[in-house]
Amino acid sequence: MTNSYRLIPNMNILLEEFKDYPPHIVKEVSNQILDLYRNKIKENKVDFETKDILDDISNALKNYNEFSLKSTINASGVILHTNLGRAILSEKSIERINEIARGYSNLEYNLEEGKRGSRYTHLVETVKKVTGCEDAIIVNNNAAAVFLMLNTFCKAKDVVISRGELVEIGDSFRISEIMKQSGANLIEVGATNRTHLFDYEDNITENTNALMKVHTSNYKVIGFSESVGADKLKDLAKENGLYVFEDLGSGSLVDFSEYGLSYERTVQDSIKDGVDLVSFSCDKMIGSAQGGIICGKSKLIKKIKKNQLLRAFRVGKLTLAAVEATLNSYLDLDKAKKDVPTVNMITMSLVEIEQKAQKLYELLSKIKGIKLSIEKSYSKVGGGAYPEDVLESRAICIDNVNINKLEEHLRLSKYHIISTVHDDKLFLDLRCIFNDQFEMIKEVLKSYYE
Ligand SMILES: *Cc1c(COP(=O)(O)O)cnc(C)c1O
């Protein structure tokens, strides 16, 4: 019986065998696995060879270095899938990240004057050109942007906001809670479905500093409903010497109503209506890296720059590089449709999606035993935008196997393909799948069937 212990390799042999890995990791990983095999011997279950142990250690070492953050293939048809990392970046943004990451930059250096500069200067000109605002600042995300607006101007002051606009975004985050944390007193007015101008008017007191509008991103109040536009709030604010702030949430720069979506307010609309400050996310409809932009009146932006808390929300150079490049694409809308993946996927024609579906269908039909069809499907914008709208799309549909098992196989495969299952069928929506992912999908499906 004791002879079985000879099957357990000596640590020096293991260190030699796996010398490509750091010795302390080989020791740690090997000891865990050797313990399992020693226990087997103790329990008289000697059903292994030394090779099995080496294989286990080899696999464990490979896993030891595995990244937790992995790439996925988005076959869900949801363009801004919050769980899948929201927007994907344009090639130009990726190039710029690469370029800036590789070397030193003028992040906080004024090249003309040869002295200290500010990281907040870099985006201003582009945001001004794209939105028509006076000035702008970028922070870590839109939640931080809303917080800073209120913390800077409404600490211990009243902010009047409609009950119909107290949004809860994903993962039980309530925008109203963030507002309260900023130190502002939220004065909720109106009813859930209807808020009138007089609701705001009646609640203005000496302690009021701002009227606030929040875009109802992920829901719509329909039926017997009414809300007050920012333009009307602006007039009321002016009469009373108050600010008007707007949290646009997804913050589109493009009116997508000619692409089958309903009309949603753009950042430009907000600026035109004369709001003092408007904030929006950079990784929702804009289609860039995580960030939040506040833009509007120059005098107010200057004050935000003096808020000590800004430091806690500041963005890094990689974000600046990405967002500047993305916004640059919007200077020419035709360019944005081509270059910014989010805009491209929203404006993608059904003909183009059908062609993609046909190509993938033909490729996958070569797999033995697979049963496929091309079906009508519906994509969504996601990211808390256009909650009511769907975009007609096409999907590859598979239905003659254990669908839940297949879904898991796709998800756990090395490419992590995220599909949807309904009516006992599995769907791969083509809108967010790139052409260069077709072969990967084939490889994974082939390994399931063959
Ligand atoms: C998404 C959203 C936010 C939060 O934006 P992040 O960039 O995710 O921090 C805030 N307000 C509204 C209305 C939103 O839709």
Q: In what order do the strands lie in the sheet containing 391-398?
A: 78-80, 372-382, 391-398, 425-429, 420-422
Q: Which pair of tokens denotes residue 196?
A: 């009138």
Instruction: Tell me which of 80, 139, 281 to substitute to probe ligand 1's pocket, judged by most ligand atoms within 8 Å of the beta carbon.
Output: 281
For 144-194, the pLDDT digits (tens) are 999 999 999 999 999 999 998 887 777 677 878 888 899 999 999 988 888
One-letter amino acid at 250 equals S
Q: Which pair of tokens denotes residue 79?
A: 């363009």
H/E run at residue 393: strand 391-398
Under 8 Å between Cβ of 14 and 43: no
Q: What percent of the chain has pLDDT over 90?
A: 84
For 412-427, the pLDDT digits (tens) are 999 999 999 999 999 9
Query: Which numbered atom of ligand 1 lies nearest the CA of 292?
Result: 7
Instruction: Tell me which of 218, 247, 285, 294 to substitute to probe ligand 1's pocket, judged by most ligand atoms within 8 Å of the beta carbon.
Output: 247
For 77-121, the pLDDT digits (tens) are 999 999 999 999 999 999 999 999 999 999 999 999 999 999 999
166 or 405: which carries more pLDDT confidence? Answer: 405
Minimum CA distance residue for ligand 1 atom 14 = 249
Please give the pLDDT value at position 2: 56
Q: Which pair of tokens denotes residue 266?
A: 């753009």
Expressed in angstroms and rounded, the spacing between residue 250 Cα and the centre of ligand 1 is 7
221 or 274: which carries more pLDDT confidence? Answer: 274
Instruction: Tell me which of 169, 250, 265, 267 to substitute to probe ligand 1's pocket, judged by most ligand atoms within 8 Å of the beta carbon.
Output: 169
For 289-329, the pLDDT digits (tens) are 999 999 999 999 999 999 999 999 999 999 999 999 999 99
Q: What are phi and psi of 388, to 5 degrees?
A: -90, -15
Expressed in angstroms and rounded, the spacing between residue 210 Cα and the centre of ligand 1 is 20
Query: Which numbered atom of ligand 1 lies nearest the CA of 167?
Result: 13
User: Over 60: is that where the pLDDT of 1 sits?
Assistant: no
| Distance separating alpha carbons of residues 96 and 261, to the nearest angstrom | 31
Write the DSSP symbol of residue 314: P
Minimum CA distance residue for ligand 1 atom 15 = 249
Q: Which pair of tokens denotes residue 378?
A: 């519906």
Please give the pLDDT value at position 169: 73
Q: Which pair of tokens denotes residue 198?
A: 């007089």
Write the DSSP symbol of residue 381: E
For 210-257, the pLDDT digits (tens) are 999 999 877 777 777 888 889 999 999 999 999 999 999 998 999 999
Expressed in angstroms and rounded, the spacing between residue 265 Cα and the centre of ligand 1 is 15
Under 8 Å between Cβ of 351 and 403: no
Give the residues surrounding ligand 1 with Cβ less than 6 Å away.
141-143, 146, 167, 169, 175, 214-215, 217, 247, 249-250, 281, 292, 384
| Distance separating alpha carbons of residues 89 and 322, to the nearest angstrom | 8
DSSP secondary structure string for all residues of 213-262: EE--TT----SS-B---HHHHHHHHHHHT-EEEEEEET-BSS-GGGGTS-
Q: What count of residues does the chain have? A: 450
Other CB atoms within 10 Å distance of the CB of residue 63: 9
H/E run at residue 407: helix 403-412
Please give the pLDDT value at position 3: 81
Query: Which numbered atom of ligand 1 lies nearest the CA of 383?
Result: 1
Expressed in angstroms and rounded, the spacing between residue 177 Cα and the centre of ligand 1 is 13
For 11-25, the pLDDT digits (tens) are 999 999 999 999 999
Minimum CA distance residue for ligand 1 atom 13 = 249
What residues pair up with 159 in beta bridges, in sequence order? 186, 210
Expressed in angstroms and rounded, the spacing between residue 144 Cα and the centre of ligand 1 is 9
Minimum CA distance residue for ligand 1 atom 1 = 249
Query: Model confidence at 344, in pLDDT bands (50, 70, 90)?
Result: very high
DSSP secondary structure string for all residues of 413-436: STT-EE-EEETTEEEEESTT--GG
The alpha carbon of residue 72 and the mean position of all alpha carbons in its chain are separated, in whole angstroms, by 13
Task: Let me know the angle formed at the C-alpha of 295 by 294 and 297, rounded to the nearest 5 degrees.
Answer: 130
Instruction: Tell me which of 148, 162, 175, 277 to substitute to probe ligand 1's pocket, judged by most ligand atoms within 8 Å of the beta carbon.
Output: 175
| Distance separating alpha carbons of residues 154 and 207, to the nearest angstrom | 9
Expressed in angstroms and rounded, the spacing between residue 149 Cα and the centre of ligand 1 is 14
Expressed in angstroms and rounded, the spacing between residue 161 Cα and the centre of ligand 1 is 16
Under 8 Å between Cβ of 211 and 233: yes
Query: Which numbered atom of ligand 1 lies nearest the CA of 215?
Result: 13
Minimum CA distance residue for ligand 1 atom 12 = 249
H/E run at residue 328: helix 317-329
| Distance separating alpha carbons of residues 412 and 72, to the nearest angstrom | 10
pTM of the model: 0.91
For 366-399, the pLDDT digits (tens) are 999 999 999 999 999 998 778 888 999 999 999 9
Q: What percent of the chain has pLDDT over 70?
A: 99
